Amino acid sequence: MTLPKTQVGFCYDNESRKLVKVTDLPVKQPTRGEVLVKIEGAGLCNSDLHVLSPRGGPIDLDGSNDKQRFVMGHEIAGRIVSVGEGTETTFKEGDRVAFFITHACGQCLDCRLGRDNTCGAKAYGLNQDGGFQEYILVDKLRTLLPIPDNVSYEQACSACDAILTPFHAIQKAKDVLTNPATKVLVVGVGGLGMNAVQILRNYPVDITAVDLKPELKESALKFGANRFGTSLDQITDEDEEFEPMFNLVFDFIGSQGLYDSYYMQLQRRAKIMMVGLAKPTFQIHNFLNAMREIEIVFSFGGNSQEQLQVLEWISLGRLKPITSNAPLDEVPKYLQLLKEGKVVGRVVFQPKL
Ligand SMILES: [Zn+2]
Ligand SMILES: [Zn+2]
């Protein structure tokens, strides 16, 4: 197969701190230990907005990012088009693969214990080259996961983060989810939260969904929420029988106002799973939470084993990601739409569209 020498991509530029379109990015040939992947889909995410926001920048846990420019897009799926000569791998040309975002080493203690989401600091599209381009050279073959035959590239992209992140938080609370008496509150059902409702529907629990946007009611109920409201007060006003005392909260917003609206609506020993990063800091109540032995657990991303499970759940039809396609050239347009809150589900960019 003849490969082009250059390609188009959208990069984060460290100097201007803006998105720039580059038309002459090199398409590199793989050497030993590397494969070249033709990108078939790259999802757009709120984290992209964060990177491009005035206080954002590359998402880089230890500050070691030294790239002047990197291609954005961290929810990536594609097809292997070339394997470097002498590479020891079971992957071959034509294989369909989804990317695990973290460049996990496979050797450190975190990786060996299956927590590869917290290994190192390098991540596709967040501080290293990612998916908003046509081809990507991969040297960490461990970050490639096979896509089941009946799962589309678009679905595989949403498994990289938008489903994986709630899936990981939900797995951390699995002990409570097998009890049919468990009452779950999902705060924020825009993107990740709506996927959380779908995942939670696979457990025998009661699900209440809250979101400021009333138009999300229909989807929330369709995907398995037992009730929906723009606030907890609205729900109790409409249904006086319903007692809003929860055992488990998944907070996909992470703001003072929303936390304040539910922290007294918890049963003793309830768990708050904090996933949303809307505000970098806010106050939690020491005494009132301590007396009831409330647990607050923070959750970030998910590990590669869970990502394989998510792909399997999609393959089995237990999860139906909401996706739409757009041509790669329209990255700037959709970033603006996402900023304005006008994007529903996952927009997946395709170079060939
Ligand atoms: Zn993302
Ligand atoms: Zn590691």
pLDDT tens sequence across 5-39: 999 999 999 889 999 999 999 999 999 999 999 99
Q: 251: which strand partners? A: 187, 274
Q: How far is CA 231 from the centre of its chain?
A: 25
Nearest to 297 by CA among 337, 329, 279, 270: 270
Q: Which ligand sits nearest to residue 140's alpha carbon?
A: 2
What letter represents residue 8's amino acid? Answer: V
Give the contacts of 14 (CB within 8 A, at least 6 positions apart): 57, 58, 67, 68, 69
Q: Which ligand sits nearest to residue 45's alpha carbon?
A: 1
Between the CA of 205 and the centroid of ligand 1 the distance, in Å, is: 27
Between the CA of 167 and the centroid of ligand 2 the distance, in Å, is: 21
What letter represents residue 112's amino acid? Answer: R
Q: 208: which strand partners? A: 185, 227
Between the CA of 103 and the centroid of ligand 2 the distance, in Å, is: 8
Ion ligand 1: protein residues whose beta carbon lies under 5 Å: 45, 47, 161
Q: Which ligand sits nearest to residue 130's alpha carbon?
A: 1
CATH number of 6-161+302-350: 3.90.180.10
Between the CA of 182 and the centroid of ligand 1 the distance, in Å, is: 29
3-state secondary structure of 134: coil
Q: 69: which strand partners? A: 13
Q: Give the integer Cα–Cα distance in Å for 173 and 266.
A: 15
3-state secondary structure of 308: helix
Between the CA of 9 and the centroid of ligand 1 the distance, in Å, is: 18
- Evaluate whether 246 touches 208 at the Cβ level (below 8 Å): yes
| Both structure tokens of 138 | 């991969």
What letter represents residue 113's amino acid? Answer: L
pLDDT tens sequence across 206-244: 999 999 999 999 999 999 999 999 999 999 999 989 998
Q: Which ligand sits nearest to residue 122's alpha carbon?
A: 2
| Both structure tokens of 148 | 């089941």
Domain 165-298 has CATH 3.40.640.10: no
Q: What is the pLDDT along the chain (353 residues), one digit of tens a residue?
A: 789 999 999 999 988 999 999 999 999 999 999 999 999 999 999 899 989 988 778 877 666 667 789 999 999 999 999 999 999 999 999 999 999 999 999 999 999 999 999 887 789 999 999 999 999 999 999 999 999 999 999 999 999 999 999 999 999 999 999 999 999 999 999 889 999 999 999 999 999 999 999 999 999 999 999 999 999 999 999 998 999 899 999 999 999 999 999 999 999 999 999 999 888 899 999 999 999 999 999 998 999 999 999 999 999 999 999 899 999 999 999 999 999 988 888 999 998 76
CA dist 41 → 44, 253, 258, 324 (Å): 10, 27, 34, 11
Between the CA of 149 and the centroid of ligand 1 the distance, in Å, is: 23
Ion ligand 2: protein residues whose beta carbon lies under 5 Å: 104-105, 108, 111, 119
Angle between helices 153-160 and 304-315 (to 10 degrees): 140
Between the CA of 196 and the centroid of ligand 2 the distance, in Å, is: 27
Domain boundaries in the chain?
A: 6-161+302-350, 165-298
Q: Which ligand sits nearest to residue 110's alpha carbon?
A: 2
Q: Which ligand sits nearest to residue 76's alpha carbon?
A: 1
- What is the distance in angstroms between the CA of the first residue and the CA of the last residue of the chain? 20
3-state secondary structure of 208: strand
